[in-house]
Structure 1
Amino acid sequence: MSAPMNAAAEAPLRGPALLQHHAGRLHTKVGAAFPGSHAVFRGHDLHRELRELEWVQLYAYGITGRHLTPAQAELVQALWTHTAYPDARLWNNRVAALAGSARSSATLGMVAGMAVSEATVYGGQAALLSMSFLQNALRRVQAGEVLADVVWAETARSKIYGYGRPINSTDERLPWIMQLAERLGLHDGPHLALAWQVEQVLLTRYTQLRMNYTALHAAIIADMGLSVREYQLLRVPVFIAGMAPCLAEAAEKPEGVLFATPCSAVDYKGAPPRPWHGSKSPAPPA
């Protein structure tokens, strides 16, 4: 009879023991730099073995540890280029452009714009919630549930991100991406098919809730096998190409003129002007 396993040896490290295990060393599987010699990127020599990869492929490989196919990499890049809108009125572009107008550094302006791109209503959080819903809905439908029941249960609990658009319910980017996806043979994945079916369910009650770029983006990436966490990292550069020209143009104009608003243009309905009586505060009530 074999001796029982040592439960203490199998227990995960905690507290000071965990910190001591990591003290003075970096435990990593993603890579390391050896200045003057070489760099390792997920077990491969970056300069000898991975130098032929396109940037999108290298970026995705760093996140997932898996290689995108050339078709997948082309579609991911298209998802980025097709939403590169150089319009400084857009919420994240506005942040980058105002940084340029204020003569902040380009890096700070771009990073600030990327930070607000995580917004729930329009940005990254909406995309993550959309992907989570599509993955969960697909599992439930494959287990035998009716999609309409899944959709209406979700709308009763929360909102389904990726459907509807504040200004115009038609998303001009979808036909172009679907055309490319079909050419690349990436148009009929299960999450993407489900996303279109969700749209049809929603339209039976809400005519404005057409699928937008968020759901399309999330469904395509889900069909590539990425997790929500991996998707969050992959989509970081999605708006950068639209931000940069806004910041650059704002920096070329006189400082502070971007979206200048005179006081006369402010429709103020608050308290009327009050006289300032100096620094003495009224005595507290007895």
Structure 2
Amino acid sequence: MIAAPLPTRAGKAFVGTRAVFLGHDLHADLRHADWVELYLLSITGRRFAANQLKLLHAMWVCTSYPDARLWNNRVAALAGSARSTPALGIAAALGMSEATVYGGHPCVRAIDFLIATQRRVAGGAVLAELVEQELAERRIYGYGRPIHSTDERLPWLLGIAREHGLDGGPHVALAHAVEVLLVARDARLKMNYAALTAGLAADLGLSVTEFHHFQVPMLLAGMTPCFIVAAERPAGRLFPLSCDDIAYAGAPKRRWVQNR
């Protein structure tokens, strides 16, 4: 069978000879590339400096929590407990990571807000007024956090950004300024990981769409241990619930009549 022509800028596999990756020879030019460097190249078509890659790595590392109680890790663990395959279990957990209230969706909304607001502030708009306008229409993502308002990841990630001279960009400064305004309204609305990573990514030149792609595997490293540990236990034993643990207010117990 002869494959149909496929015009694309992504690249091409010349099976038996070479592979082209966004205009680069994958083996001759990119064989020493860091994996995150290759991933960012696939998203943006650009090469990033070593200090920028260190920060991008840290965005993933600092939020790799192997806790099966977290909503997406639970899916990975349940997949392991059900004896699914790693690919299926992790794919399902990654899909769950794009949650609306937390996870991928707030990251996208946060960088969209910061980029648009920074552009308007640079044009002379008053930040406090822009925040009020945004709050009148919808919530500002990247501030506030379920369970605990303090985000323990922020000082560590900011420290790494500072080590590499990447903590002083306009979008990060804007994210802090927005936090001051929001905390004045409600002390629980402190900056969370979504706003900080969005600000750092925007200062590295990532667009909304590019950051959306970048954050997809951000939580992946914490999922695999949850899958493995659950798979090591007897099948179906993860988070077991007894019928007595369920508050049921429906129809009472009734006799099962089998159809013949």
**Normalising by structure 2, what TM-score?**
0.95
User: Whole-Å Cα distance in 1 between the matches of residues 151 and 258 of structure 2?
Assistant: 56
Q: 2:211 aligns with which of 231, 234, 254?
A: 231
Give 5+ residue unaligned stretches, structure 1. Answer: 1-22, 280-286
Please say if 1:178 is aligned against 2:158.
yes
Q: How far off its partner does 1:220 sit? A: 0.7
- What SS is found at the alignment partner of 1:118? coil
Q: How far off its partner does 1:273 sit? A: 4.1
Which whole-Å deviations, capped at 9, do the CAs of 1:182-241 have from their partners, x for residues lacking one? 110000111110000000000111110000001111111111111111111111111111
Please say if 1:131 is aligned against 2:111.
yes
Q: 1:60 aligns with which of 40, 43, 56?
A: 40
Residues 26-105 of structure 1 mapped to structure 2, 5 A cutoff: 26-105=6-85
| One-letter identity of the residue aligned with 1:81 | V
Give 5+ residue unaligned stretches, structure 2. Answer: none
Aligned length: 257
User: Whole-Å Cα distance in 1 between the matches of residues 199 and 249 of structure 2?
Assistant: 45
Match of 1:203 in 2: 183
CA RMSD of aligned residues (A): 1.4
User: Whole-Å Cα distance in 2 between the matches of residues 85 and 250 of structure 1?
Assistant: 15
Match of 1:15 in 2: none
Residues 186-265 of structure 1 mapped to structure 2, 5 A cutoff: 186-265=166-245
User: Whole-Å Cα distance in 2 between the matches of residues 98 and 265 of structure 1?
Assistant: 19
User: Whole-Å Cα distance in 2 between the matches of residues 239 and 277 of structure 1?
Assistant: 48
| One-letter identity of the residue aligned with 2:154 | L
Q: How far off its partner does 1:275 sit? A: 5.9
User: Whole-Å Cα distance in 2 between the matches of residues 123 and 217 of structure 1?
Assistant: 12
User: Whole-Å Cα distance in 2 between the matches of residues 173 and 29 of structure 1?
Assistant: 37
Aligned residues with identical type, % of pairs: 53
- What SS is found at the alignment partner of 1:236? coil
Q: 2:247 aligns with which of 263, 267, 275?
A: 267
Tell me which moved more, 117-126 or 205-214.
Answer: 117-126
User: Whole-Å Cα distance in 2 between the matches of residues 39 and 114 of structure 1?
Assistant: 28
| One-letter identity of the residue aligned with 1:182 | R
- What SS is found at the alignment partner of 1:108? helix
User: Whole-Å Cα distance in 2 between the matches of residues 67 and 256 of structure 1?
Assistant: 45
User: Whole-Å Cα distance in 2 between the matches of residues 277 and 253 of structure 1?
Assistant: 36
User: Whole-Å Cα distance in 1 between the matches of residues 207 and 164 of structure 2?
Assistant: 22
Which whole-Å deviations, capped at 9, do the CAs of 1:231-282 have from their partners, x for residues lacking one? 1111111111100000000000000000000000011233444566787xxx
Which whole-Å deviations, capped at 9, do the CAs of 1:130-170 have from their partners, x for residues lacking one? 11011111111111111111111111110011100111100
User: Whole-Å Cα distance in 2 between the matches of residues 225 and 120 of structure 1?
Assistant: 24
Q: How far off its partner does 1:24 sit? A: 3.0
User: Whole-Å Cα distance in 2 between the matches of residues 136 and 272 of structure 1?
Assistant: 56
Q: How far off its partner does 1:121 sit? A: 0.9
Tell me which moved more, 98-107 or 47-56.
Answer: 47-56
State the structure with bigger RCO (CA 8 A, min sep 6), 1 or 2.
Answer: 2
User: Whole-Å Cα distance in 1 between the matches of residues 19 and 4 of structure 2?
Assistant: 21
User: Whole-Å Cα distance in 1 between the matches of residues 64 and 257 of structure 2?
Assistant: 53
| One-letter identity of the residue aligned with 1:183 | E
